[in-house]
Amino acid sequence: MPDHKLSSIQANIDNFEGLYSTTSILLEGHLHTHTIQTRLTPRLASLVPVTQIVLDRAFANELPAKKDSYIDIPAFHLVLRLVSAISARHFVGHPMCEDEEWLSTALKYTENAFRTIIFLRIFPDWAKPVVSLFIPYSWKVSSALRKAQRLIVPIIIQRRKEAATFLLTKDSSYRKPDDFLQWMMDEANERDGLPHKLAHRLLILTLASVHTTSMAATQTLFDLCAKPEYIAPLREEITKAVQKDDGFTKQTLTHLRKLDSFMRESQRLNPPSLLGFKRCVREPLTLSDGTFLPKNTHLMMPVYPIVTDAANVPNPMRFDGFRHYNNRLQPGESNRHQFATTSDQNLHFGHGKFSCPGRFFAANTIKMVISNLLLRYDFHLEGSATGSVERPENVRLHEYVFPNPETKVSFRLRQV
C-alpha cells in the first residue's frame, strides 16, 4: 500500500519514541532515503578501497595486539569503534571523520537514544513528556544533538562558501567533497537544506547505520568464536579473493559467498529485532477479509518465528553457516539467499518498496570488518582457550536483541 495509507517511516519513528529520541525529523521528508538510494548505493564499489584504508588505521589504534600473547577486548565496543570509523569517513569525510569529539558524540547519541526508547516505553503516552524531563538519557540525547550541530553546521556553511566562490572564480584547485553530507546538501530542498537540519539528519543516520551494523558484525564474530571450524574455510575464501583482485574491491566482496552465508545465518538466529514490518495506518482501512483498521493503528509481525519455522528452514534451530551458500548452488538460486536479499521468508531488512535502503552498505561494512579480523588475528572467546565456553547469551529488551556488550574476545596477531 502507498505510504499515505500505510506508513513505514511513521511506524518506525513512533516505535523509536521520535519526539524524545529526536528521530521525528525524518518525518519531514525522504531526503535520507533518496540520498542513500541515488548517491550512496551506486557508489558502493568506490567506497571499498577507502574503507580498507580506514580499517588499516583503525585496527592499529583500536586493536594493538601482539603475536606472542592475547589481549582481551569487549567485542561490541571494538566493533562499534571500527564501524564508527568507517561510517564517519563516508558520512562526513576528512578531517571530521578522525575527530574524536565527533565520533564520541555520535556514539553517545546512539547509546542514550536507545536507553531513552527502552525506558519511556513502559509509560503511557500522556506521561512521557513529564517523565522525559527527569531521565538523564533524554538530556544526553539533546546534548549530543546540540554538540553535533555545533560541529557540523560550520562545515556546511564553509562548503557552501567554497562552492559559491568556485562559481565566481572557476578556481581549478576546488574539489567538491564526496561524502554523504555533501550528497544530502546537493539533494536537499530549501527547507531540508537548512544547516541545523542537515546536521540533525546526519546524526540520526549515524545511529541507524552504526548501531545495527555493529550488532550484526558482533553477532557474526561471536558465532565464529562459538563455531571455530568455520574459520579456516572462510579465511581460505577471503585470501583467494583478495589475492585474485590484488586487495579489497567491490568485486572481492561478491566472491565472499561463504562469508555472506555465515553472516545471514548469524542474523537469522540473532536478529536485531524479533518483530518487523512495522506499519502505521494513516487513514482508515478495510482489508479484503473485512478487517477494519482505524487511523493510527500500529501493526507489525513476528519475523523471528518465520526464519525458525521448519516449514521455511530445514532443521531451523541448528546453526549451519553454509546453509545459504549451499542454497545458492542450486539451479536458478545463485542470486537469492544473500545477506542483503529480502523475501517473504527473510524480513529482517523488511521487504518490498520500503525495505532497508542501507542494507547493501551494511553488508559491505560487515564483510570488510570480519574479513580483516580473520586475516589479521587469531581470536576466541575470553577463557575458551582453557576449556569450553558457550556462545554469550543475547540481551533482550522488549523486541530488541543485542549482543552481550560485556563479552570479551581474546585477540592476537596471526602466526603466519
> Model confidence over 149-195: pLDDT tens digits?
999 999 999 999 999 998 888 888 888 999 999 999 999 999 999 99
Split at pLDDT 50, 70, 90, the class of 356 is confident
**pLDDT averaged over the chain?**
92
> Model confidence over 268-285: pLDDT tens digits?
999 999 998 899 999 999
Query: Global pTM?
Result: 0.94
Q: Tell me the three cell numbers of residue 234.
A: 572462510
Helix (H) or strand (E) run with residue 34 in it: helix 31-35
> Model confidence over 37-64: pLDDT tens digits?
999 999 999 999 999 999 999 999 999 8
- DSSP state for residue 343 in the 8-state scheme: B
DSSP secondary structure, 44-92, as one string: HHHHHHHHHHHHHHHHHHH----SSS-EEEEHHHHHHHHHHHHHHHHHH
One CATH from 1.10.10.10, 3.40.50.150, 1.10.630.10, 1.10.3720.10 for 6-286+293-409: 1.10.630.10
How far apart (Å, rounded) are the C-alpha atoms in residues 400 and 395? 8
SS3 content of the chain, % helix, strand, coil (to 5): 60, 10, 30
How large is the average pLDDT for residues 399-416? Answer: 92
Query: What distance lies between CA 132 and its chain's CA centroid?
Result: 27
User: Which one, of 266, 276, 270, lies nearest residue 393 by Cα?
Assistant: 270
> Model confidence over 18-36: pLDDT tens digits?
888 888 888 888 898 899 9
User: Which one, of 378, 375, 367, 363, lies nearest residue 409 by Cα?
Assistant: 378
122: three-class secondary structure by DSSP: coil
Residue 293 near residue 281 (C-beta atoms within 8 A): yes
Residue 405 near residue 74 (C-beta atoms within 8 A): yes
User: Which one, of 268, 273, 259, lies nearest residue 224 by Cα?
Assistant: 259
Q: Cα–Cα distances in Å, from 224 out to 10, 214, 267, 278, 316?
A: 37, 15, 13, 31, 19
Q: Given this model, what pLDDT does residue 124 score? A: 92
User: 248-252: long-range contacts (C-beta < 8 A, 24 or more apart)?
Assistant: 248/48, 248/49, 248/51, 248/52, 248/368, 248/371, 249/45, 249/48, 249/49, 250/44, 250/45, 250/46, 250/48, 250/364, 251/45, 252/48
Q: Residue 386 above 60 pLDDT?
A: no
> Model confidence over 186-200: pLDDT tens digits?
999 999 999 999 999
How large is the average pLDDT for residues 120-132? Answer: 91
Asked if omega into 42 is within 30° of 0 (cis), the reply is: no
> Model confidence over 89-118: pLDDT tens digits?
999 998 899 999 999 999 999 889 989 998
Q: Residue 256 above 80 pLDDT?
A: yes
Q: Is 319 exposed, middle or buried (0-12, 13-18, 19+ CB in 10 A)?
A: middle
User: Which one, of 48, 413, 39, 86, lies nearest residue 256 by Cα?
Assistant: 48
How far apart (Å, rounded) are the C-alpha atoms in residues 106 and 84? 8
Split at pLDDT 50, 70, 90, the class of 388 is low
Q: Given this model, what pLDDT does residue 264 score? A: 96
Q: Is 268 exposed, middle or buried (0-12, 13-18, 19+ CB in 10 A)?
A: buried
Most confident by average pLDDT, 121-130, 131-140, 171-180, 212-221: 212-221
Q: Given this model, what pLDDT does residue 387 score? A: 53
How far apart (Å, rounded) are the C-alpha atoms in residues 285 and 18? 24
